[in-house]
Amino acid sequence: MPTRHDLTLLLLISACACAPVLAPSAWAEPLRPVSAHTAKRVELPMLPGLARGAQVAKPVPADGYAGSEACATCHEDKATSLASTQHGRAGNPRTPAATQGCESCHGPGKAHAEAGGGIGVGGIVNPSKLLPQRASETCTSCHDRGTHALWSGSQHDQRNVGCVTCHSVHAPKGERQIKAASQMELCGTCHKNIVNRQHRFTHMPVREGKVECTSCHNPHGSANVKLLRVGTTVDDSCTSCHSEKRGPHLWEHAPVANACVTCHNPHGSNNERLLEAKLPYLCQRCHVTSRHPPTVYDGFVMRNSQNANKIISRGCVNCHQQIHGSNAPSGQFFLR
Ligand code: HEC
Ligand code: HEC
Ligand code: HEC
Ligand code: HEC
Ligand code: HEC
Ligand code: HEC
Ligand code: HEC
Ligand code: HEC
Ligand code: HEC
Ligand code: HEC
């Protein structure tokens, strides 16, 4: 079944002079490198006159369209700002510049232009005045594949956070045309509690710029929980970078196989190693009933037995070094 987006897409395509080049399957897969296979598809018999890399012919405005040059006579600043971004690159056949120009996003504007322009005149569309979900449809007419395939109905889409909530087409401030100078600032406008955790004593190197919010999350939707970019579980996400912690191990430590976030807080913590609690308390959240070791409340045992050493320094992991699981034949207690 074609979705509404596909239909919009087809309409856009059929209204465009270079239509045959834009087979929907070759459309907008931003992050995936173009394979030799798809590259061939784009270039095959459709463009007999065009050599590889040649300039794509200027689109002829269709009915109801004025063409970008007409718009630029009154909105020169917008034309300039667009030209400085990827959307303005006519060499890429999928950009607005190579298709309907301004009108790829603002809709047919002949009536608006001929009436001399004006707010709301001629049915011209201003995406920032639309409901977020409607505005996003403008964008998903092109950006509906690859990293954006799961946008529709995703957490942000559902809660009225749209493409133009985070991105600006004409006046972006940060990389990837986001509206703030950095991701910390952008995401922090709504997720302040999370961003604040970055200032705790240990944290993922987000603050230093080595990892970004979007290293772990895909704000455009995902198949995992909590918009996590990779995999289908929290652990899949963590072990996509920390692969040495990935099981299966000969001896599994139950909570590790379950979820890294039982012990670590990925956004930051005031304990070593992003731990949710200090050692040995972290372990004692679960291992309190064990005969070994004592808790801090077992004052007598602590003072009078060799068990005292079990809660000093790095505590339990002084000995239980392979806390994430062991592959040693006798690694049952994660000592080796
Ligand atoms: C004859 C001059 C003129 C032409 C040509 C023109 N506009 Fe406008 N446009 C205006 C004026 C004046 C406004 C009122 C707002 C302003 O002053 O910026 C406006 C407003 C807009 C708005 C905001 C509408 C709103 O309701 O908030 C958009 C979007 C827009 N134009 C896009 C376009 C596009 C796309 C084209 C080309 C198809 C175009 N304009 C052609 C003069 C023009
Ligand atoms: C990729 C989609 C896209 C293209 C292409 C595009 N615009 Fe826009 N335009 C937007 C969005 C989104 C906004 C809302 C403000 C923003 O995001 O920067 C906007 C806002 C505007 C406004 C209103 C600004 C205001 O003050 O409210 C005008 C006028 C405008 N665009 C004109 C143009 C002209 C002229 C072109 C072609 C040179 C063009 N746009 C191409 C998406 C686009
Ligand atoms: C006519 C098709 C089309 C439409 C409509 C469109 N885009 Fe794009 N956009 C592209 C293409 C093509 C690129 C270049 C990257 C690529 O090839 O995927 C791009 C790139 C981008 C980028 C990446 C910029 C960068 O610096 O890496 C962002 C962000 C973006 N678009 C946002 C939007 C938003 C927001 C809207 C809606 C207001 C929108 N686009 C509408 C085709 C489109
Ligand atoms: C919650 C904020 C947010 C929303 C909502 C959002 N984006 Fe993004 N977008 C980002 C950030 C941050 C990046 C840079 C990191 C990355 O590449 O994921 C980005 C990157 C991009 C890119 C370039 C990288 C890529 O994945 O191709 C495009 C294109 C893009 N966004 C388009 C869109 C479109 C279209 C929508 C609406 C369907 C949208 N964005 C909604 C924050 C957002
Ligand atoms: C190292 C990976 C990683 C990084 C970097 C990261 N997150 Fe997360 N985030 C996660 C994981 C894993 C969860 C799920 C936690 C859970 O289920 O307890 C999560 C959950 C969330 C949630 C949902 C919180 C809730 O209580 O449901 C938000 C919002 C969030 N992150 C925003 C951000 C922002 C904003 C940034 C950048 C400052 C960021 N994240 C950086 C891994 C990360
Ligand atoms: C305009 C506000 C806004 C911005 C900006 C924003 N978000 Fe969100 N985000 C939301 C809302 C609203 C939800 C839904 C929360 C809920 O359902 O409890 C959400 C949910 C999330 C979730 C959790 C999803 C879940 O399943 O619980 C993550 C992760 C997240 N956002 C990451 C990000 C990242 C990363 C950025 C920056 C690139 C960002 N957000 C920017 C408003 C925003
Ligand atoms: C995008 C890659 C990436 C993902 C995904 C990721 N990490 Fe990290 N992690 C890093 C990097 C980079 C460091 C810093 C390593 C360094 O500084 O040597 C780090 C460091 C750590 C540290 C050590 C912190 C310290 O103070 O020494 C812990 C613990 C950690 N990550 C746990 C997690 C958990 C739990 C998850 C899943 C929620 C996760 N990581 C997901 C890249 C990632
Ligand atoms: C039972 C609690 C617990 C769980 C669950 C857990 N960890 Fe850890 N992790 C620790 C402790 C304790 C340390 C500190 C070890 C030390 O200081 O020697 C640590 C240290 C780390 C470190 C930094 C030092 C190193 O060994 O590289 C990383 C990275 C890490 N864990 C990743 C993960 C990942 C990924 C997962 C999920 C697959 C995970 N952890 C699950 C308790 C846990
Ligand atoms: C979320 C609860 C939880 C936390 C926190 C936790 N563990 Fe465990 N641990 C378990 C469970 C469940 C088992 C499996 C027990 C079994 O198989 O009888 C286990 C098994 C063990 C075993 C092997 C015991 C055996 O009889 O095979 C050792 C050793 C161990 N944990 C040490 C630690 C240490 C050290 C820490 C702190 C770094 C820690 N655990 C944190 C739940 C936890
Ligand atoms: C001085 C080294 C050492 C320290 C420190 C240590 N352990 Fe152990 N642990 C062992 C050894 C050795 C075993 C093997 C079984 C045995 O001989 O009791 C063991 C076994 C265990 C077992 C499985 C057997 C049982 O008794 O249930 C658990 C659970 C355990 N330790 C948890 C902990 C926790 C939690 C801490 C930190 C509070 C800790 N250990 C600190 C050496 C240590």
Q: For 146, left (φ over 0), alpha (ψ -120 to 50), or beta?
A: left
Q: If pLDDT is split at 50, 70 and 90, which confidence band does 192 have?
A: very high
| 87 within ligand 3 shell (Cβ under 6 A) | yes
Has residue 219 got a pLDDT over 90?
A: yes
Q: Which residue, among 170, 63, 74, 58, has the nearest Cα to 108 in the 3D structure?
A: 63
Average pLDDT over residues 261-280: 92
Contacts of 316 (CB under 8 A, 6+ apart): 279, 280, 283, 293, 310, 323
Amino acid identity for residue 191 in this structure: H
What pTM did the predictor assign?
A: 0.89
Q: If pLDDT is split at 50, 70 and 90, which confidence band does 52 have?
A: very low
Mutate to test the pocket of ligand 10, among 256, 281, 316 (most ligand atoms within 8 A of CB): 316
Amino acid identity for residue 96 in this structure: P
Give the closest residue (by CA) to ligand 6 atom 25: 226
Mutate to test the pocket of ligand 7, among 227, 262, 274 (most ligand atoms within 8 A of CB): 274
| 78 within ligand 5 shell (Cβ under 6 A) | no
Q: What is the CA radius of gyration of the chain?
A: 28
Give the closest residue (by CA) to ligand 3 atom 25: 176
What's the pLDDT at 60? Answer: 61
Has residue 203 got a pLDDT over 90?
A: no
Please indicate whether residue 306 or residue 197 has the higher confidence score (pLDDT). 197
Mutate to test the pocket of ligand 1, among 65, 74, 129 (most ligand atoms within 8 A of CB): 74
Q: If pLDDT is split at 50, 70 and 90, which confidence band does 313 have?
A: low
Run of H or E including 42 = helix 36-43
- How far apart CA 234 and CA 221 sit, in angstroms, is 15
What's the pLDDT at 258? Answer: 80
Give the closest residue (by CA) to ligand 10 atom 35: 283
For 262-271, what is each residue's pLDDT tens digit? 999 999 999 9
- How far apart CA 196 and CA 179 sit, in angstroms, is 20
Has residue 72 got a pLDDT over 50?
A: yes
Give the closest residue (by CA) to ligand 3 atom 42: 95
Give the closest residue (by CA) to ligand 6 atom 40: 187
